[in-house]
Amino acid sequence: GGPASLSRFRGALVAAVLGDCVGGEFEGAEEVPMESVLQHLNSLDDETKGTGILEYSDDTAMARCVVQSLLTRASFDEQDMARRFAKEYSASPGRGYGAGVIQVLKKLSSPHLSDVYQPARDQFNGRGSFGNGGAMRAAPFALAFPDLANVKMYARLGAMLTHSCSLGYNGAVLQALAVHLSLQGALDLPQQFISRLITEMEEVESEEAARNDARILKEAEKPLCERLHRVRDLMDRSKISIEEVISELGNGIAALHSVPTAIFCVLHCLQPRECLPESYSGLERTIAYCLALGGDTDTIACMAGAIAGAHYGIEAIPQSWIKCCEGAEDADMNAKRLHMLYHQSSQGG
């Protein structure tokens, strides 16, 4: 489909859910042989093996809250979104949430809370979380707002409800930007895609709060930009091992160690790869590659799924995968509603 087509919206939201559901199998694993990944993915096609339904985790649970809030309010409403996060957590606390964010979600359910951003500010002795929980649910912002400045502003504010460290919320900004650009067809020119991300993040990371956090955490001056430069170097290489990707970019729970990694996975899998079946679509390659990295596989596959889904569209997703992932059909329905909201907004309606 063309820029911002319905197929791209459906691809983005559905593939994010699939990445979470199929990636959950390997979350936290140190080494994941590609053979195990392919076996896992093959089992989704084989109804006789009865994989059953793969449940979604916190990544999708929170993204669903973001989607419902944006659709219901037809804009960003921090009170409404915070209430939805708290309600979702209290209804299903066993979705594998991060150890720290649970405190925020409990506090957000208090009827006496006057500032919904305060619980996030109190995390980690006032430093705030740099986890990837803001980024893992950032894709819907790119599907609700056509304007780039709004995508950046609302992805940041949406993440700040739980992640007040700039590395956490700027990771969300980067993820939303990647989905926004992919939706426009920017991955047709991968070099320009990565350059554009670097340019945008240069501005985002020049803010004082970001510079302070980087200094305190002893990271590079502009940590996400520095990682994006590494992505650009790696994507120019014809061969690269999984070990090198992990050591250069990371595969962990911090936004810094997972958002650039997800972007790399998408870029690397734009072409067929020796280690992956020729029959795979680009989207299947991307998800498989994310799983083979080990570490935070559900989240990296969820984020890469959203970016890749916005590029390839819904047609690249196997029906058998959709059938066995909890929440995938809901995501498809919501993508259609977001597509309408997006186009209403772009017409000034």
Q: Choose among ligand F2R, Mg ion, none what residue 131 binds, the Cβ cut-off being 5 to 8 Å by kind.
A: ligand F2R
The rounded distance, in Å, linking the Cα atoms of 113 and 58 is: 23
Among 165, 225, 249, 306, the residue binding ligand F2R under the rule CB under 6 A is 165
Site string for Mg ion, 285-304 (x = CB under 5 A): -----------x-xx-----
Contact segment (CB under 6 A) with ligand F2R among 70-78, 91-99, 230-238, 324-332 equals: 91-99
Nearer to Mg ion, 88 or 296 (CB): 296
Site residues for Mg ion, window 299-328 (CB under 5 A)? Answer: 299
- The token pair at 162 is 């739980």
Site string for ligand F2R, 28-67 (x = CB under 6 A): x----------------------------xxx--------
For residue 258, state whether it binds Mg ion (rule: CB under 5 A). no
- Tell me which of ligand F2R, Mg ion, none is bound by residue 101, counting a contact when its beta carbon lies within the kind-specific cut-off of 5 to 8 angstroms: ligand F2R
Window 130-149: residues binding ligand F2R (CB under 6 A): 130-133, 136
Pull the structure tokens for residue 211: 């510079």
Does 205 participate in binding Mg ion (rule CB under 5 A)?
no
Among the candidate windows 59-67, 169-177, 313-321, 334-342, which touches Mg ion by CB under 5 A? 59-67
| Site membership for Mg ion, residue 25 (CB under 5 A) | no
**Position 19 contacts ligand F2R (CB under 6 A):** no
Residue 200 in the binding site for ligand F2R (CB under 6 A): no
Least separation in angstroms between CB 27 and ligand F2R: 6
Asked if 127 interacts with ligand F2R (CB under 6 A), we say yes
Residue 213 assigned as binding residue = no
Binding residues: 57-59, 296, 298-299
Binding residues for Mg(2+): 57-59, 296, 298-299
